[in-house]
Amino acid sequence: MALMITDECINCDVCEPECPNQAIYAGELIYEIDPRKCTECVGHFDEPQCVQVCPVECIPVDPANVEDRETLMQKYLRLQAQA
């Protein structure tokens, strides 16, 4: 699964630098997450770092991008190979 940032985002800037995959970026109105890069920190950490630091809890699982842990690990490996 990829995560998403909801419109409750207050643009506090704490999530973007925490993303090891650089999947979080400043969107037109709020921060956004690129589902092609989001691995929910699988391969890096035990928990998604953006969720851990978000002060308003506006980063749920994106229901449009549901992936199991194995798929997330494969995405992580692919991203690492591209780096």
Q: Which amino acid is at 17?
A: P
Is residue 82 classed as helix, strand or coil in its secondary structure?
helix
Cα–Cα dist 58/75, whole Å: 24
Q: What is the pLDDT of residue 36?
A: 96
pLDDT tens column, 17-26 = 999 999 999 9
Q: Could you give the domains of the chain?
A: 16-82 (3.30.70.20)
For the purposes of burial, counting CB atoms within 10 Å of the CB of 32, is it exposed (0-12), middle (13-18) or buried (19 or more)?
Answer: middle
pTM tops 0.85: yes
Q: Which amino acid is at 20?
A: P
The strand ranges marked E within 1-83 are 24-26, 31-33
